[in-house]
Structure 1
Amino acid sequence: MGEQVLRSTATDVDEHRGDGQTRFRLARIVVDDVSDLENAAAVVVRAFAHASVELAASVPAERFTLRLTHPGPWSESVADLLTALADLPIRRAVVLDDLVTGDAVPRRVKEVDDVIDRTNQRQRATRIADLWPAYVIDRLRESAAEHPYLLRGPVDALYQLDAVGRSEYVRSLSAYFDHSGDIGAAATSMFMHPNTLRYRLRRMQELTSLDLSDPMARLVAEMQLRIRGGYLDPAGS
């Protein structure tokens, strides 16, 4: 992936990039239109004027990469960097949680772009760790679409039971997982008595091969629910 340097506070870009092992704090920045790129880059450089900073554009055209040399201002604290980026006239910014060596920058930029393409974010600037769960589920959902048999098992049986009755097994199991197995909290979220939820959980295990006492079975069941969209998507993937 070729990069075009837009702005740099370094007098020598090659020196700024180091020997390939120099560590950087990276942020991938998205603007609304490619015509906004130069203006946004200038604003970003001014915002980080006291740091050793480089902005490089690459495909897609409306994105550029912010490199902050470590150690240095804003490279130490992801929280401070997020606050600074949130005040800038950009559409999105995603900051990597770990420091990246120069040699690894192209690969990591490609990874971040895939996360940006597959996720939504509420804040203008966010860390990639906050997007990672949704990203992983999206990739698993894509895999399940290619291999539908990955969604077979007790969860699929619960969808079928709900389709022919009014059992709400999928909704109940989703609430159970959403509240980390806390029966009281899950029942409250469904406006039901905890004993009613306990009965449903026991009954769904009797009717299917679901075993909530098995950690691996719980993990697979929850992943299948997430992939299928929980009770909001009774048709599955």
Structure 2
Amino acid sequence: MAALKALCRAESLFLQNTTGPRRISLHFYNHPGCYFSTSSQRKSKFYTNPTDAVKDIPDGATLLVGGFGLCGIPENLINSLLKTGVKRLTAVSNNAGVDNFGLGLLLQTKQIKRMISSYVGENAEFERQYLSGELEVELTPQGTLAERIRAGGAGVPAFFTATGYGTLIQQGGSPIKYSKDGSIEIASEPREVREFSGRHYIMEKAITGDFALVKAWKADKAGNIIFRKTARNFNQPMCKAAKITIVEVRDKHS
């Protein structure tokens, strides 16, 4: 089962849609938006209060959080998690926000236990927690991160990529968590290596989540959403890779 929630501010909206087996179609038009729809068996629900839409996220959940930098991030949903106080979260996101915005807010309150990310250099609190052993971090090349999420939504458990071969990603031993004395407490595992047509590849596992928190432009009660221009970024593949998707949108359509 999968679900889609959509959230709405005064001019935005939050929708929930429960579906049967997911069959996702993505249609491109001569239009600034990108259309996304779920399967025919669905229930959907709109919320005007974002806290109501995220209140069932439990401690220890894995969240797929959309956005690229600060573009297309579900900022109201993230802010609402501050109110619920949920903790020990695993957050999968290309970025880790900045110190006072986006996922950076959840880092300040230490609600995130592990980050699976690509580019995290704009968050000083992230760096402090990682180096002090307070935060687990799995750094993943950006293209590999995108494909791991896409594979999760497509039902592909793993795939091979040349990215990372010959590095710590392939060899293992990259620090995920430091001890207080600076030693490595948790290290990454080595990847399986295969050779295809004379080139070496490493195996990467797909990523799936308990919840996806994404930002879109428009939504309807059938569970269809439209992304606007580059704000689509990681939001679209994350919709498919989570059991429940919570969508923050600006416009509601019947």
Structure-1-length-normalised TM-score: 0.24
* Structure number with higher helix proportion: 1
Larger radius of gyration: 1
Give the TM-score of the pair, scaled to structure 2.
0.23
* Larger fraction in strand: 2
The structure, 1 or 2, with the larger RCO (C-alpha pairs under 8 Å, 6+ apart) is 2
